[in-house]
């Protein structure tokens, strides 16, 4: 069985050649294919005899390593396509999504139509504030010297340069942020926190110091502070790829997956399970490379607490796929065996009565 379709731009302009089409189930990327130069694509789902969907969408179907229906007349089970969607992944574009639940799973080829992508303004560099353009010449010169020194590994000169920049121009938000990064690298957490906090006091819409402060709050297990910091980041509606007045949100250099991960951790530790699940699923959706396999450990813990054991098992399997050599891999495998054994020993549900 195949999914076919095409990618089109909202303004009718030509597509780049590196358009990636992704199938996402339960907020996790399950399959990726590249579109052809003309925008068309074809994604194989397997046969009616064996479903190769990586995880059942509602947790009640086959495991990600199991098989689907053996009956050729049944096709791919409908529940395997629930919570599954297609989207395009392409730097500089925002994609709409196409749900798969309503598709005819008995057909040999299913055309999903067009996935439309909207062109965004191309921006390079870090998420930045306007501060460098307002700073005096001497402050900008010291700041640029600090960036070069940091790039070359000379942290002493970098620190001195950023300190000089903020002394000349105390409202130099970027310099405070960079100074915080140098201090954090040197494990001077209190001084780093003070520098990051100074940056946030100057400008509440400059997001990088908030994420750095979130990392420090996570390490300190200060869950209330972590929730407040990440809540501020996410309140700026990053998923709409918004241009914020005075700032450019460059999603290639600011990791919203990490922000949502921290937000989920804070909610989980504050016993806000539903909020934790929502944020963790968004983190998994955004982590398309992927770079944060621990998101799936977090989701496994959330689903285990909700007694959704099939989904917890699936998330542990995904984690081990992404990080098979992690320091905690053996512990995770042991946890996975316990959950699998527990599920296997659960009594089968009583068959429905003919009178029901």
> Are residues 11 and 57 located together in one domain of the fold?
yes
Mean local confidence (pLDDT), 272-281: 94
> Are residues 199 and 307 located together in one domain of the fold?
no
194 inside domain: yes
Residue-wise pLDDT tens digits, 306-356: 999 999 999 999 999 999 999 999 999 999 999 888 776 666 555 555 444
> Are residues 95 and 163 located together in one domain of the fold?
no
153 inside domain: yes
Element holding 32 (H helix, E strand): strand 28-34
Give me the half-sphere count of Cα atoms (radius 13 Å) on the Cβ side of residue 320. 18
- pLDDT of 33 reads 85
2-9 vs 109-119, strand pairing mode? parallel
Task: Tell me the three state secondary structure of residue 267.
Answer: helix
251 inside domain: no
Task: Provide the CA 49 distance to its chain's centre, in angstroms.
Answer: 33
Three-state SS for 297-343 is: HHHHHHHHHCCCHHHHHHHHHHHHHHCCCCCCHHHHHHHHHHHHHHH
- pLDDT of 118 reads 79
Mean local confidence (pLDDT), 290-303: 92
Which range, of 49-63, 80-94, 146-160, 283-297, averages the lowest pLDDT? 49-63
- pLDDT of 162 reads 96
Q: Which of 119, 153, 176 is the last residue of a domain?
A: 119
> Are residues 9 and 104 located together in one domain of the fold?
yes
> Are residues 103 and 137 located together in one domain of the fold?
no
Mean local confidence (pLDDT), 65-92: 57
> Are residues 147 and 185 located together in one domain of the fold?
yes
Q: Which of 240, 273, 306 is the last residue of a domain?
A: 240
> Are residues 206 and 302 located together in one domain of the fold?
no
Residue-wise pLDDT tens digits, 119-164: 764 333 334 455 556 788 999 999 999 999 999 999 999 999 999 9
> Are residues 232 and 266 located together in one domain of the fold?
no
Determine contact, residues 57/82, Cβ cutoff 8 Å.
yes
- pLDDT of 46 reads 55
pTM of the predicted protein model: 0.62
- pLDDT of 195 reads 97
Which one-letter DSSP state was computed for residue 81?
Answer: T
State the CATH number of the domain containing residue 35: 2.60.40.1120
Q: Which of the pair, 83 or 257, is modelled with greater confidence? A: 257
State the average pLDDT for the chain. Answer: 78
CB-count exposure of residue 254 (10 Å: 0-12, 13-18, 19+): middle
CA dist 4 → 33, 129, 244 (Å)? 11, 42, 37
- pLDDT of 352 reads 52
> Are residues 50 and 135 located together in one domain of the fold?
no
351 inside domain: no
> Are residues 50 and 114 located together in one domain of the fold?
yes
Q: Which of the pair, 219 or 351, is modelled with greater confidence? A: 219
Q: Which of the pair, 136 or 84, is modelled with greater confidence? A: 136
Residue whose C-alpha is closest to residue 293's, from 15, 22, 28, 16: 28
220 inside domain: yes
The percent of residues in the chain predicted with pLDDT above 90, rounded, is 43
Mean local confidence (pLDDT), 285-299: 86
Q: Which of 119, 151, 170 is the last residue of a domain?
A: 119
Mean local confidence (pLDDT), 245-264: 67
> Are residues 114 and 152 located together in one domain of the fold?
no
Phi and psi at residue 6, in whole multiples of 5°?
Answer: -150, 160
Q: Which domain holds residue 273?
A: 256-344
**Can you read off the two tokens belonging to residue 147?**
């960036």
245 inside domain: no
Determine contact, residues 236/242, Cβ cutoff 8 Å.
yes
59 confidence band (pLDDT: 50, 70, 90): very low
User: What's the number of domains the chain is made of?
Assistant: 3
State the CATH number of the domain containing residue 261: 1.25.40.10
> Are residues 111 and 32 located together in one domain of the fold?
yes
């Amino acid at each position: 069985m195949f999914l076919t379709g095409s990618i089109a731009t909202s303004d009718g302009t030509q597509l780049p050649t590196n358009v990636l089409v992704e199938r996402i189930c339960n907020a996790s990327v399950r399959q990726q294919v590249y579109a052809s130069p003309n925008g068309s694509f074809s994604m194989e789902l397997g046969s009616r005899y064996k479903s190769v969907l990586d995880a059942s969408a509602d947790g009640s179907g086959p495991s990600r390593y199991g098989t689907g229906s053996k009956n050729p007349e049944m096709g791919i089970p409908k529940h395997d396509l629930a919570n599954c969607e297609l989207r395009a992944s392409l730097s500089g574009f925002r994609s709409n999504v196409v749900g798969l639940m309503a598709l005819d799973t008995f057909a040999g080829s299913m055309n999903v139509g067009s996935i439309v992508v909207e062109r965004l303004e191309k921006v390079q560099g870090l998420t930045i504030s306007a501060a460098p353009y307002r700073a005096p010449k001497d402050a900008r010169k010291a700041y640029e010297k600090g960036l070069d020194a940091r790039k070359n590994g000379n942290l002493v000169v970098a620190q001195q340069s950023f300190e000089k920049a903020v002394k000349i121009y105390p409202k130099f938000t970027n310099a405070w942020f960079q100074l915080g990064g140098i201090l954090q690298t040197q494990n001077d957490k209190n001084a780093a926190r003070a520098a990051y906090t100074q940056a946030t006091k100057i400008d509440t819409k400059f997001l990088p110091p908030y994420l750095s402060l979130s990392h420090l709050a996570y390490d300190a297990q200060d869950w209330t502070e972590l929730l407040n910091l990440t809540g501020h980041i996410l309140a700026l509606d990053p998923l709409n790829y918004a241009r914020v007045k005075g700032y450019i949100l460059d999603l290639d250099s600011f990791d919203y997956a990490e922000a949502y991960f921290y937000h989920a951790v804070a909610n989980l530790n504050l016993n806000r399970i539903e909020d934790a699940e929502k944020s963790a699923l968004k983190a998994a959706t955004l982590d398309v490379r992927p770079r944060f396999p621990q998101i799936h450990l977090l989701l496994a813990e959330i689903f285990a607490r909700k007694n959704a054991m099939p989904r917890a098992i699936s998330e542990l399997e995904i984690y081990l796929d992404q990080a098979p050599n992690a320091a905690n891999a053996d512990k995770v495998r042991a946890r996975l065996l316990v959950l699998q054994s527990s599920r296997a020993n659960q009594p089968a549900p009583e068959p429905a009565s003919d009178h029901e």
